Structure 1
Amino acid sequence: MKVIRMNEGHQVAVLGDQVNIKVPSSDSPHGMAIVVVDVPPYSGTPCVTHAKEEEVYFVLEGELFMHTPTEKHTLAAGDMVHLPPGTPHGYRNPTQARTRFLAWTVGGPMDKFFVSMADRVQELPRDLGVMAEVLEQFGVSRVI
């Protein structure tokens, strides 16, 4: 048993979002990673797919707007979304308040993706080329 306290974890900043890696994939025999993501007002991600990872997002506080090319859903605290590998998805905080969600992935090192993004992608659009390299390295594809 491993207890992880609220203030513990590896904190990284990924394009404005604060990601706290609670369980790194290297600690799991199945490559599971668990993170807490703090999304500032109006921040979010474009629509992407993951080649290998299955993901679940569980909203802890605030609202999370989830989108695909064909679907749009607003999630509130206590709601969750399940994303099998290859499922297009993006998110946005649509409010003036912080949104916080718990995310876990199984099947690949998404925590290492977050660390690489935090280390290598500092400013857009300047770092778009580097971001494309990181996305490719971790099997993440943008959906247009």
Structure 2
Amino acid sequence: MTQHQTAQTMKPATAAKKLGVYLDATPADFREGVVSRAELNALQTDPPEWLRDLRRDGPHPRPVVAAKLGVSISGLARGGVTEALTTEQIEALKAENPEWLRKERETQAEVRKESVRIKEKRAEEAEKAARAERD
């Protein structure tokens, strides 16, 4: 008996998230359909003009905005940024460098430092445990 394989599909919101684009800015036919795994791979491999434009100019979803500004998504919310921003708006924010953005970047830097410290501490503890096992 042969099994029929069905194509794995996803909602447009999931596909947009995987592509790193803002769903509301995508073409209507993308938003209104479903996206197969093969279609997603094709979009990633050879992006059409609309996808290249969105990735370059935006509007960008919050995770992308946060990454471009060097802050967390929560930091964006604390700064009052709740909407998608274009690349131009992001660059203007960087140039303006408001107080909230400076604070959030400092916070993000501290979080990164702490993550590195914890990772190093765990590695050191694992090394000590491995040495203790050998002895």
| TM value normalised by structure 2 | 0.26
* Structure exhibiting the larger radius of gyration computed from Cα positions: 2
**Higher relative contact order, structure no. (Cα contacts within 8 Å, ≥ 6 residues apart):** 1
Question: Would you tell me which structure has more helix in proportion to its own residues?
Answer: 2
Question: Would you tell me which structure has more strand in proportion to its own residues?
Answer: 1
